[in-house]
Amino acid sequence: MTAPLNRYILSIALSIFSFSIVAADDWKPLFDGKSFDGWKQLGGKAEYSIEKDEIVGRSVANTPNSFLTTEKNYTDFVLEFEFWVQDGLNSGVQFRSMSKPEYRDGRVHGYQYELDTSSRAWTAGIYDEANRGWLYPVEYNSPARSLFKNEQWNRARIECVGNEVQTFLNGRQVSHLVDDRAITGFIGLQVHSIRDASHAGYQVRWRNLRINTKSPKLSRSEEVYVRNVAPNTLSKTEKTRGWEFLFDGKKTAAWKGTSDVDPFNKDGWIVENGALTIQPGGKGGQIVTKKTYGAFELDFDFNLAKGANSGIKYFVVDHAEPGASKSQYLGLEYQVLDDKVHPDGAKGAVGNRTTASLYDLIPPYRNVNTRDVPLHIGKWNHGRIVSHPNGTIEHWLNGFKVVEYQRGTNIYDALIARSKYAEIENFGLSKKGHVLLQDHNDLVSYRSIKIREL
């Protein structure tokens, strides 16, 4: 038996064991199978009924999203249920959610365990309904897209402890989210609004809903990506997996300038409000990590002023000739740019100088699994670079993988030969290199810069 298969079987066994050790009397039913006592409907006018100990939701035309919600609020808990969704209907289960008159006239908002019958297959991803949008799209854990069984009964589990959330589908972990706070709210069963009137009457069913509020615990996490949306923090799981800060909102000790100028002067790179910000005017210069990296995962948030230009480079080495008076730090670049305003966005070829591109080499996808990839100017965006040991590189933007390539292949060499780097010997092919933050004379901020070596 191979080592990977052994680890796979062990992870399943550990998950099953951790699920089974909770005392039976710690669980309470959320639904008695007979009445809607303890529940109320909010939002639209979808129809909810009770059939064979199941809650059945049916879509109705010309009405917004509907929610059958618990009257009670919950903070820390483990929730389990089974669900069946008719193909073509979108649905979900709200948790830690709210409805307040002062927020969009009482619109239901908060975490949602997605129930997705589309080809996108994001069931068990975490969506923040009517608020922040996707927090954990299943792109982060692509193998989990195969777990959902269409028009069959599926088993779901949601774990909320403190500011961490984990979701599971049919016995396997799908997501791990770390938020900036623990949230209290109700649980709700969603019937999504429909655009096609022929889908009226489509069904979603729930059964065996039960909750544990007495002894809620996070199961031992599988090796899924941890999305931490709390600025400048590392969760216990992240620390265990080897993540460390390059910038934690306060310290710049991991960085150095690429010239004789102190980059952290009052007109250059400054630390303010938990962010590392380059001031307009180009008086900070490029900064690089003191340490070099080969195979790694790099996470970061960035905030672009209107029209701004910057970038994060990796596998950066000094290409200056021996004895040269100035360094020439060059490397592969994750472009950071206001695509619609800065003129560089229209240069290059087919968008290969837009945000999250491999600069001047590969353009990013702008639509992934039916969703447009967002870029927020004047707000925080999430970037991610993954450098695998086999030379494969991934660029991510706001939850979507938008670039993937492999260093050193014939295709890579052909791209280099047609780029501005054609005359640079072995460009981007060093075994290890620095990470560089670019000063392009524009106002750009970074935070939550963290890395782990693979």
What does the pLDDT look like over 351-364, one tens digit per residue? 999 999 999 999 99
Q: How long, in residues, is the chain? A: 454
| pLDDT at 321 exceeding the cut of 90 | no
Regarding whether 273 and 190 lie in a shared domain, the answer is no
Mean pLDDT for all residues in the chain = 94
Q: How many domains does the chain have?
A: 2
Is residue 3 scored above 50 in pLDDT? no
Q: How confident is the model at residue 21 (pLDDT cuts 50, 70, 90)?
A: low
Whether 397 maps to a domain, the answer reads yes
Residue 8 has pLDDT above 80, yes or no: no
Instruction: Identify whether the C-beta of residue 325 lies closer than 8 Å to the C-beta of residue 318.
Output: no
Is residue 217 domain-resident?
no
Say what the pLDDT of residue 22 is.
55
HSE on the CB side for 193, CA within 13 Å?
Answer: 7
Of all residues in the chain, what percent carry a pLDDT higher than 90?
89
Q: Are residues 237 and 123 in the same domain?
A: no
Q: Is residue 50 part of a domain?
A: yes
* Cα-trace Rg, the chain: 24
Output the pLDDT for position 326.
82
Give the burial class of 452: count Cβ atoms within 10 A of its Cβ; 0-12 exposed, 13-18 middle, 19 or more buried: middle
* Helix, strand counts (H, E) of the chain: 3, 31
% of the chain with per-residue pLDDT over 70: 95
5 pLDDT higher than 90: no
**Which amino acid is located at 161 in the chain?**
V
Q: CA–CA separation, 186 vs 232, rounded Å?
A: 29
User: Where does the pLDDT of residue 320 fall: very low under 50, low under 70, confident under 90, or very high at 90 and above?
Assistant: confident
Strand partners, 346: none
Tell me: the pLDDT tens digits for 40-64?
999 999 999 999 999 999 999 999 9
Cα gap 77→32, rounded to integer Å? 19
Residues 340 and 430 in one domain: yes
**Domain contains 208:** yes
Residue 195, CB-side half-sphere exposure with 13 Å CA sphere: 2
The answer on 93 and 32 residing in a single domain is: yes
Same domain, 308 and 345: yes
Distance CA 71, CA 103 (A): 18
User: Which residues 6+ apart lie within 8 Å of 2 measured at CB?
Assistant: none
Query: Same domain, yes or no, for 260 and 392?
Result: yes
pLDDT (0 to 100) of residue 276: 98
pLDDT given at position 187: 98
C-alpha span between 313 and 361 (Å, rounded): 13
- Domain-embedded: residue 180: yes
Residues 282 and 170 placed together within one structural domain of the fold: no
Amino acid at 349: A
Range of the domain at 263: 231-453
Q: Which residues contact 268 (CB under 8 A, 6 or more apart)?
A: 261, 262, 278, 279, 283, 284, 285, 439
Residues 201 and 299 in one domain: no
Rounded to an integer, the average pLDDT of 369-388 is 95
Confidence of residue 9 (pLDDT cuts 50, 70, 90): very low
- The conformation of residue 218, written as its DSSP 8-state character, comes to P
Compute the average pLDDT of residues 176-200.
Answer: 95
**Residue 170 and residue 21 share a domain:** yes
Residue 1, pLDDT above cutoff 60? no
CA distance 273 to 277: 10
Burial class (CB in 10 A: 0-12, 13-18, 19+), 195: exposed
Average pLDDT estimate for 327-343: 95
CB contact set of 106 (below 8 Å; sequence gap of 6+) = 42, 99, 100
Task: Please identify, among 212, 242, 264, the residue that sits at the C-terminal boundary of a domain.
Answer: 212
Residues 311 and 363 placed together within one structural domain of the fold: yes
Both 198 and 254 in one domain: the answer is no
Residues 362-376 as b/e (b if ≥16 CB within 10 A, e otherwise) read: bbbbbebbebebebe
Q: What is the pLDDT of residue 4?
A: 44
Show which of 163, 184, 212 is a domain's final residue: 212
**Which residues are CB-neighbours of 182 under 8 A, at least 6 positions away?**
75, 76, 160, 162, 163
Question: Each residue of 203-256: pLDDT tens digit?
Answer: 999 999 999 999 999 998 789 999 999 999 999 999 999 999 999 999 999 999
Cα separation, 143 vs 90, in Å, equals: 21
* Final residue before a domain boundary, out of 180, 212, 244: 212
Three-state secondary-structure class, residue 231: coil
The answer to the question of residue 223 being in a domain is: no
Q: Specify the pLDDT at position 327.
A: 84
CATH number where 446 lies: 2.60.120.560
Question: Where residue 39 falls among pLDDT bands split at 50, 70, 90?
Answer: very high
| 404-416 mean pLDDT | 97
CA distance 174 to 31: 25
Contact 55, 189 (CB under 8 A): yes
Q: Is residue 432 part of a domain?
A: yes
Q: What is the pLDDT of residue 118?
A: 95
Query: Does residue 387 lie within any of the structural domains?
Result: yes
Question: Is 383's pLDDT higher than 70?
Answer: yes
Q: How confident is the model at residue 408 (pLDDT cuts 50, 70, 90)?
A: very high
Would you state the pLDDT for residue 282? 83
Tens digit of each residue's pLDDT (9 = 90 or more) over 99-140: 999 999 999 999 999 999 999 999 999 999 999 999 999 999
Output the DSSP codes for 255-298.
EEESSSS-TTSTTSEEEETTEEEEPTTS-S--EEESS-BSSEEE
Same domain, 114 and 43: yes
